[in-house]
Each structure stands twice: as structure tokens, then as C-alpha cells.
A = this chain, B = another copy of it.
Amino acid sequence: MAKAAPISPLAPKTTPEIPPIDGVRFAAGAAGVRYKGRTDVMLALLDEGTRVAGVFTKSKCPSAPVDWCRARVEGGKARALLVNSGNANAFTGKTGKDAVKLSAKLAAAATGAPERQIFLASTGVIGEPLDASKFEAVLPKLAQKASADGWLDAARAIMTTDTYPKLSTRVALIDGVEVRIAGFAKGAGMIAPDMATMLAFVFTDAAIGADALQTLLSRSVRGSFNAITVDSDTSTSDTLLLFATGAAAARGAPDIEKANDRRLDAFRAALDEVLLDLAHQVVRDGEGARKFVEIVVEGAENDRAAKRVALSIANSPLVKTAIAGEDANWGRVVMAVGKAGEQADRDRLAIWFGGVRVAHRGLRDNGYDEAAVSEIMKRDEIALRVDLGIGLGSAKVWTCDLTKEYVAINGDYRS
């Protein structure tokens, strides 16, 4: 495991206070999976009637817990969530499947929930067998001490190379009744050093049917977790689960079965905000990151093309190293636009750094103020905008710079 790093300079200045969400309780403990002297296991207990939705890594080699969750999420019901750090249980073959089964069995015994309603996630080293029997002693204690205000402990227990816990919360009205949404995430790079995974868990007391919940989640990730990149590397374990306990029904919130129900408008917006906040926090903890970069692409043939161009820019090592060097190197942005393979025309392209247009119609913009751009490039947060001048497609993605620290963190000897 990499040595403890100082907190990312891009970390939010404060950690948000998360209010209780009816129907959810948390506990964290130390099972000794890999780390010493810290918590590495988190249990969330979910009241009966909780619905669940999930999105997972697109990797063709997903981890054993991803396979488990993907199969279970179809049932739409959840009673518990068990997450460990220190071992990703990825590329562990049959041993991995056995570890998942044993984990579910132990969690079921400790919580009284049916195994098929237990959700699992693991993050940490790849390819080492996970000894799930280590959960046996700790799970009953966690089930007993779980409390509604255990958010921060839960968020901390799932960290690997993260330099800070990532939490977010919002409220929304559904048909006049206030409901809460809150969640936490981990990830510092699509994969942290020798560690796998971006994990995020979001909870609400809203009463929303599982199908509708899945639709809401799948839509919301497009502009948040699917619009961030640290290093273009896709984890074997990416997991985002959304749990709705329905406890707000007791306070008069309607039970809603359709994702396009207009009464969900505010909820949808709040969910978008929570996911985007957590996704941004992951980028802000990107390995070695010193700059948070927003990339907007406009004027593309369509939104899909815009996103592909935006990600091509966001993933370009040459763009990312230029930003690390505080260099408004629009030549490299042109290169990244060109390599995306989408329709582009040199002579229509315009590029802005932090609102200053540096290139226009196939040429350097001779009018631009070098000193102003220099100042912009020194900031922690940099906005890069590209207008392709072709159509109406647009997209927004976020990334961080590529620094020597990224290489140092990821090039350290594993042993």
C-alpha cells in the first residue's frame, strides 16, 4: 500500500455534515483484511422495503463482487451493504466467487437479511484471495452498533489511497414532503496504486420503485460519474449503488413507480447534484492532482461526438502535462480534438482557457492577452472550452492534471 499522502490541495475545504436518513444505519470496523490500525469494513443496514439500483464497471474482467451485485440488483430489493477495503477480490477466480458467497452468508447471519438482498463491494489489491472469514468475528458487532449517524466512519472505512473521505447530501421535495439524499464515494484515479476501484453508495428515504430508481440512476451518471476521468483507466470494480428506503412514506411521501413522474423533478435534480458532487470529489483526489479541470465542448455534430472529443482532451497525457506546467497549450488541444475521430474542421475551431479565447478559425487568436491567460493557468481550477463550429452537440467533463506525483505514486514498487 502506498504511504499516507497529505490531503489533496483540491479537497473541499470542509467535510459536509450528513443528516440521518430514515431506514439506514451504518457501522465501521477493523477486520484486518490488509491494513493495520484503521477500519477496513463497513456495514449498512437497510430497513425492509428498501429498493436498489446500480451501475457497474464496463470492464470485461469485472471483480467477483461486481458480478454478484449485477445479478442481485435485478431483484430490486436490498437489506444490507457490506464493503471492505484492502482487497478488491478481483481476478481471484473461483476463490473470489467463494469469498463473495461466504461474505453474503456471514452478513445474512449477522443481519437476518436474506442473502440475495445483501450487496457487496470490495476495493484494494487485485489478484490476491480475499479471506472473507475475517468478517465472521466483526459482522455481528457491526450489526449491533450500527447507527444513523455513522456516515463519516463508513466513508473512511472504504478509503484506499484517497486522501480525504468524500460525502455529499441534498434535500428535495416530493409532492410537498421533504426527502433526503446522501452518499459517499471513494476513488483517487480510476484505479489507485495497485488498488482497484471507484465505489459510491447513495441513500435516500424517498419511496421510489426499483425500475424507476434504476432509470433515474442511469440517467444521472451520464453527466457525473461517466463524465470524469483521472487517467483513462477503467477499474475492474467500479460500483455505484442507490438505495431508497422508502421511509419518507411514513411522513406522507408518495410511492412513485415511474421515473418520469413530474413529482420527481426536484428529487432528480438533487440526485444529479449529489452524484456530481461526489464525482468531482473523486477527481479532486486524483492521484498527484494539482489542478481541477472542466472541459466543455460545444458545436459538435451531436452530444455523443462532443463527449468523445471532450474525453479525448481530458485523457490526453500531453494536454494534462501542459496543464500541470501551467501552459495554455492550445496546440495540444487541437491535437486531442483531431485524434478523437469525430467531425472537426481546423478552420472553424475556437479554444478558450478560463474565458479567454486563444485560438479562432484555424489560427492563434492574435488579440488575446498572454498575461491574463498566464494568471488563469496558475489557478487551482481551470475551465477549458472548445467550440467545434459544426453543430449543436455539447458535453462537459472533468479531469485533473498529470503530474510527476502521479508517476511517483503509481511507479512505486509494489512490495
Binding site for B on A (CB under 8 A): 57-62, 90-96, 125-128, 189, 191, 194, 196, 231-236, 315-318, 321-322, 324-327, 329-332, 334-347, 349, 359, 361-364, 402-404, 406-408, 410-414
Kindly list chain B residues whose C-beta atoms are within 8 Å of the C-beta of A191.
Answer: 318, 332, 335
A90 to B19, CA, bound (A): 55
Q: Which of B57, B61, B196 makes the CB contact (< 8 A) with A344? A: B61
Q: A7 CB to closest chain B CB, in angstroms?
A: 22
- Could you write out 16 A-B pairs with CB less than 8 Å apart? A59-B338, A61-B346, A90-B334, A91-B359, A91-B364, A94-B362, A96-B362, A126-B332, A127-B363, A194-B332, A321-B407, A322-B410, A325-B414, A327-B414, A402-B407, A407-B407
A335-B233, A339-B59 given; A411·B363 CB < 8 A: no
Q: A195 CB to closest chain B CB, in angstroms?
A: 9
Q: A295 CB to closest chain B CB, in angstroms?
A: 16
A231 to B231, CA, bound (A): 12
Kindly list chain B residues whose C-beta atoms are within 8 Å of the C-beta of A359.
Answer: 91, 127
A196-B331, A235-B335 given; A91·B362 CB < 8 A: yes
A347 to B191, CA, bound (A): 21
Q: A368 CB to closest chain B CB, in angstroms?
A: 12
Kindly list chain B residues whose C-beta atoms are within 8 Å of the C-beta of A363.
Answer: 91-93, 95, 127
Q: Judging by beta carbons under 8 Å apart, are A127 and B334 in contact?
A: yes
Q: Judging by beta carbons under 8 Å apart, are A413 and B334 in contact?
A: no
A387 to B238, CA, bound (A): 24
Q: Judging by beta carbons under 8 Å apart, are B91 and A236 in contact?
A: no
Q: Which of B128, B335, B403 makes the CB contact (< 8 A) with A61? A: B335
Q: A187 CB to closest chain B CB, in angstroms?
A: 13
Q: Judging by beta carbons under 8 Å apart, are B91 and A413 in contact?
A: no
Kindly list chain B residues whose C-beta atoms are within 8 Å of the C-beta of A233.
Answer: 316-318, 332, 335-336, 339
Kindly list chain B residues whose C-beta atoms are within 8 Å of the C-beta of A347.
Answer: 93-94
Interface centre among A57, A128, A332, A359 (most CB of B within 10 A): A332
Q: Which of B57, B341, B407 makes the CB contact (< 8 A) with A60? A: B341
A232 to B59, CA, bound (A): 20
Interface centre among A345, A361, A412 (most CB of B within 10 A): A412
Q: A78 CB to closest chain B CB, in angstroms?
A: 26
A91-B363, A127-B364, A334-B127 given; A410·B321 CB < 8 A: yes
A346-B91, A402-B407 given; A236·B334 CB < 8 A: yes
Q: A332 CB to closest chain B CB, in angstroms?
A: 7
Q: Judging by beta carbons under 8 Å apart, are B361 and A93 in contact?
A: yes
A361 to B331, CA, bound (A): 45
Kindly list chain B residues whose C-beta atoms are within 8 Å of the C-beta of A403.
Answer: 407, 411
Q: Judging by beta carbons under 8 Å apart, are A408 and B413 in contact?
A: no
Kindly list chain B residues whose C-beta atoms are within 8 Å of the C-beta of A331.
Answer: 90-91, 125-127, 194, 196
Q: Judging by beta carbons under 8 Å apart, are A406 and B58 in contact?
A: no
Q: Judging by beta carbons under 8 Å apart, are A364 and B413 in contact?
A: no
A402 to B236, CA, bound (A): 22
Q: Judging by beta carbons under 8 Å apart, are B231 and A317 in contact?
A: yes
Kindly list chain B residues whose C-beta atoms are within 8 Å of the C-beta of A127.
Answer: 330-331, 334, 359, 363-364
Kindly list chain B residues whose C-beta atoms are within 8 Å of the C-beta of A412.
Answer: 325, 327
Interface centre among A125, A128, A325, A408 (most CB of B within 10 A): A325
A363 to B99, CA, bound (A): 14
Known: A61-B349, A90-B331, A233-B332. 20 other contacts (CB 8 A): A60-B339, A60-B340, A61-B337, A62-B338, A91-B359, A92-B362, A92-B363, A93-B346, A94-B347, A94-B362, A189-B318, A232-B317, A317-B410, A318-B410, A322-B410, A324-B407, A327-B414, A403-B411, A404-B404, A404-B407
